[in-house]
Amino acid sequence: MLVDRDTLINTILFGLAQNISGPFCFMTPQNDSSIKPLPFDPRAARALLEEAGWKLNAQNVLVRDGAEFRFDLMIPASDTEYQKICEVIKNQFAKAGIIVTIAPFEFSVLVDRLDNRNFDAAMLAWTGQVEDDPYQIWHSDSIKDKGSNFISWNNKDADALIEAGRKELDEKKRTEIWHKLHKLIADQQPYTFLWFTTSRDFVQPRIENFQPHRLGLEGYFADWYVPTAKQKYK
């Protein structure tokens, strides 16, 4: 509730993103559209922090049990967009008394730190499908052996839902299972979801054998072609 997602989307991302509340693409049935993202509400956030025992000290920094509320936010060093986004987030957190230090790393080093669970927090992105298999990221089995559950979220209810969803062939029943998982993740917030990025694709009208679709351009790129009569470049 300290992250103003809408402003970030409309400024840094030029409106090319959709606010989300969970791990699934907002344009697919796997996503439960009734689950809304947490609002940008600094006052409510500060009330929750106070309820959890965090108090502002003389330097206007939150403290609990003698420890300041501070953490490093790891990002890829080469991504200037991430840097801009995190600068805004850093300032928004600072207003509530939380010290965020942006920690850029070369990507191979960043991945190594993820694999070895050597970080406070990280900002990254996942790619998605029309229907994702959530096992890789969310199942507790993916914690071990440097798996993709690098945040080490271990939830037995989530494991059971993932295992049930992977076995359910009835699409309606499977979608209900994914919606339960979506709600569980949204309630527990192992990730703070920012947005699902969108894009505008432009294709030269001479190119054939593809179909525009709301989820992207259908058809494998290698199968696209320009008819001989329309070719300009040899």
* CB 20 within 8 Å of CB 37: yes
Same domain, 82 and 150: yes
Q: Where are the beta strands (DSSP E) in 8-140?
A: 17-19, 55-56, 62-64, 67-68, 70-76, 99-105, 121-122
168 lies in the same domain as 80: yes
Same-domain status, 134 and 219: no
Q: Which pLDDT belongs to residue 211?
A: 74
Q: Please tell me whether residues 79 and 161 are part of one structural domain.
A: yes
Do the beta carbons of residue 184 and residue 178 sit within 8 Å? no
Are both 147 and 39 inside the same structural domain? yes
Selection from 169, 123, 132, 125 nearest residue 31 by Cα: 132
Q: Which domain holds residue 234?
A: 204-234
Asked if 214 and 131 sit in the same domain, the reply is no
Residue 18 and residue 5: Cα distance in Å, rounded?
A: 9
Q: 18 and 91 in one domain? A: yes
Measure the CA–CA gap between 230 and 188, rounded to whole angstroms.
55
Residues 130, 186, single domain; the answer is yes
Residues 127 and 214 in one domain: no
pTM of the model: 0.86
DSSP string of 69-127, one letter each residue: -EEEEEEETT-HHHHHHHHHHHHHHHTTT-EEEEEEE-HHHHHHHHHTT--SEE-----
Q: What is the CATH number of the domain that holds 142?
A: 3.10.105.10
- The SS3 call for residue 229 is helix
* pLDDT value of position 210: 78
What secondary structure does DSSP assign to 3-52, as a single string?
A: --HHHHHHHTTTT-EEE-SSSS-TTSTTS-TTSPPPP--HHHHHHHHHHT
First to last CA, the chain: 55
> Same domain for 86 and 168?
yes
Q: Domains in the chain: how many in total?
A: 2
Strands (DSSP E) contained in 118-173 are 121-122
Strand partners of residue 103: 74
Would you state the structure tokens that stand for residue 184, as one six-digit string?
């569980």
Residue 146: phi, psi to the nearest 5? 60, 40
3-state SS class at 167: helix
Average pLDDT, consecutive stretches of 10 residues, N- to C-terminus, the chain (234 residues): 96 94 92 96 97 96 97 96 96 97 97 97 88 95 96 97 98 98 96 89 84 65 85 84
